[in-house]
Chains A and B, each alone.
Chain A
Amino acid sequence: MTQTEPPSGTTAVRGYDVRYFIALALGLIGAFLVVVALVAPAQPELQKTGGLHANLWTGVVMVVVAAALALWARLRPMLIERHGDDATLTTEAPPHAGG
């Protein structure tokens, strides 16, 4: 799926899309957990969690979720539709087919 130009009468919101913002936060914290899992001594962790590599798993899942959110935001950019003074923001395909 390639990225399409926003339909006429709409403006894409790129930088400030809330999904990028969430992806950034989750990705950074997830990456931090992965680093902790690799660097910090494993023994105290395994003792606490009963043998689970909890930091690593959580970190990996968070990075994956962050990537998925960013991908979603990229493939379906948030659009501002302008109707005169009125403007609405949408990620939904318009109901009348096409687009």
Chain B
Amino acid sequence: MVGQVSATIISVAWYDYVPIAIYFVLVLGIGFLGRRHVSNALDFLLSGRSLPAWITGLAFVSANLGAVEIMGMSANGAQYGMPTMHYYWIGAVPAMLFLGIVMMPFYYGSRVRSVPEFMLRRFGPAAHLVNSLSFALAQLLIAGVNLYLLGTVVRAMLGWSEWITLIVAAAIVLSYITLGGLSAAIYNEVLPFFVIVAGLLPLTLVGLHKVGGWRGLVDRVTASPGGAGQLASWPGQALSGFSSPVLSVIGIVFGLGFVLSFGYWTTNFVEVQRAMASNSIRSARMTPIIGSFPKMFIPFIVVIPGMIAAVLVPEVVHHKAAGGPAGQSVQWNQALIYLMRDALPNGLLGLAITGLLASFMAGMAANISAFNTVLTYDLWQRYVRKDRDDRYYLRLGRLATVAATAVAIFTALIASGFSNLMDYLQTLFGFFNAPLFATFILGMFWKRMTPAAGWSGLVLGTLSAVAVFVLNETGVISLPGQGMAFLAASAAFVVDIVVSVVVSRVTQPKPEGELVGFVYSLTPKERRTDPGTARYPWYQRPVPMAGIGLAIVIALNVIFA
């Protein structure tokens, strides 16, 4: 059953384009200014160095609050309800606090600036090559997710066919990048956060008003398919796909909480670099800790609208009653767009669309620029053509931008095959982040781990996650929901650790002198501590603030259990 390609989901009034225009004129304008008049102060701001912790903290969350988060988490909210909160209160927030308290002092002290750089200097070229290739591939696939979602919005507005939409959306992103949309990085990251909140908060409030407040939502969700189980976050069997509640809790805590989330937040240097830009260990540690405060409340404007859509929007109610079958014109991913259609008047609709477009474009632009850097400098310059001038690599970077955008059209088609994008995305994180996290953490704390263990653990870890995926696809094991991704990630993690330990036993480690700064026990304590911290008031110190964050997130877990 294919929906009418010519029908638009949302009917846009001419003035809905006004906020879109305001936003992009501002963003492209600042990018343009940044390139034309490089004043001292502006230059300084745009380079993103040494910013106050509240800006880097917001940029940190904002870089993650992209397409995937908004559409994926609302899709998850529509399909599973409150168990989706685990992504925030078991997943992201504890991982961000862990990053701020434990990992950041080490990163800052070791002066490592990227994951490939850490791999190269800790394990040598083989692990670096494996990691760079897998990182480049992951960026292309995730750029496809962003492009697909951008296309979904454009399509809902204009009703074009999928191919045309994807090609046009790709062209828009490409011109955004070339017009300097990336040069004002910090502006581009902090601004979408405010615009998205300004769009999603009214959507949530109006939606709640329409279902009769919180009470009304509770009653309606209880009466809907999935029932009261969707109102409590635990044990979340529908989300994990495990029929046993105990296994479900273990799956969520270990698979989602530990491997996927800790793995994502501690090795995602696209985000960690926001914190490294700060001027002291204290500010670097404050960045994810400050970021965790908005992060823990974001599900209220993302997951709750998804749940509202599932009881309010006729198409989504129908889809849910039918058991959410694949291959229909309605998908879980569209839950938010349908709710926007039903609850937002023209005007606010334009604002909400602006927020979505802004985050998808910033997200995809970030993926493509990360791909560029790795392809040009980590792969091409190191392994293919070493000694060319800067112009050569700049030109290569431009070619890579165009090529990556074109490839993203095809990876977007892969993404479009998943009715709930979170299934796809968590699978990708299982392939790429889980083994990386295992290698990273073991290499950091165990000085005996050898270069051969570094690359072989990564390769076999990734392969075992792929194996779980294939077994699930071919029906040998059957885990609905996101349980497959949790299992794949856990398998990748365990296999990576086992392989690394076994291989390390039979191969030569690097001499200790070369590992200073890359292994915890060999890094001098002075490089990991900030003596200035004690002079600051408690609300500017990492440990007290992380304690408060932890207390709030525990309270949220208990209240909505």
Contacts and interface: CB of A to CB of B under 8 A. Distances in A.
Contacts of B42: 16
Contacts of B540: 92
B44 A87 contact: yes
Contacts of A90: 52, 279
A32 B22 contact: yes
A49 B210 contact: yes
B198 A89 contact: no
A88 interface: yes
A36 B535 CA distance: 50
A22 B540 CA distance: 23
A88 B279 contact: yes
A48 B342 contact: yes
B195 A29 contact: yes
A21 B450 CA distance: 49
Contacts of A67: none
B191 A57 contact: no
A22 B192 CA distance: 9
Nearest to A56: B347
A89 B50 contact: yes
Nearest to B202: A58
A31 B52 CA distance: 29
B22 A25 contact: yes
B190 interface: yes
B525 interface: no
Interface string B15-41: 100110011001000100000000101
Contacts of A40: 13, 15, 345-347
A52 interface: yes
Nearest to A16: B42
B52 A49 contact: no
Given A21-B187, A49-B206, A89-B50, A95 B536 contact: yes
B51 interface: yes
Given A16-B42, A49-B206, A88-B50, A33 B351 contact: yes
Contact of B348 (A54, A87, A89): A54
Nearest to A48: B345
Nearest to A57: B202
Interface in A77-99: 78, 80, 87-92, 95-96
Interface string B334-374: 00000000111111100100100000000000000000000
**Chain B at the A interface: mostly helix, strand, loop or mixed?**
helix
Nearest to B15: A36
A91 B176 CA distance: 31
A50 interface: yes
A92 B201 CA distance: 29
A95 B532 contact: yes
Given A13-B41, A89-B52, A96-B535, A22 B347 contact: no
A9 to B, nearest CB: 15
B45 interface: yes
Interface in A10-36: 11, 13, 15-16, 18, 21-22, 24-26, 28-29, 32-33, 36
Interface string A57-80: 110001000000000000000101
B26 A25 contact: yes
B38 to A, nearest CB: 11
Contact of B191 (A16, A25, A78, A91): A25
B428 interface: no
Given A18-B55, A48-B342, A55 B41 contact: no
B50 A18 contact: no
B44 A80 contact: yes
A92 B13 CA distance: 44
B111 interface: no
Nearest to A91: B52
Contact of A55 (B55, B201, B348): B348
Given A48-B343, A55-B347, A55-B348, A26 B50 contact: no
A29 B50 contact: no
Nearest to A12: B41
Contacts of A22: 190-191, 194
Nearest to A69: B194
Interface string B42-81: 1011000111101100000000000000000000000000
Contacts of B206: 49-50, 52, 54
A44 interface: yes
A55 B345 contact: yes
Contacts of A54: 202, 205-206, 344-345, 348
Contact of B30 (A21, A57, A95): A21
Contacts of B348: 33, 54-55, 58
B52 to A, nearest CB: 5
A94 B343 CA distance: 47
Given A32-B19, A58-B198, A90-B52, A95 B344 contact: no
B209 A13 contact: no
B186 interface: yes
Contacts of A28: 22
In the A-B complex, the 10 residue pairs with the smallest Cβ-Cβ separation, listed nearest first, are: A36-B347, A45-B345, A95-B535, A88-B279, A88-B50, A55-B347, A50-B210, A58-B202, A13-B41, A16-B42
Interface of A: 11, 13, 15-16, 18, 21-22, 24-26, 28-29, 32-33, 36-37, 40, 44-45, 48-52, 54-55, 57-58, 62, 78, 80, 87-92, 95-96
Interface of B: 13, 15, 18-19, 22-23, 26, 30, 39, 41-42, 44-45, 49-52, 54-55, 186-187, 190-191, 194-195, 198, 201-202, 205-206, 209-210, 279, 342-348, 351, 354, 532, 535-536, 540
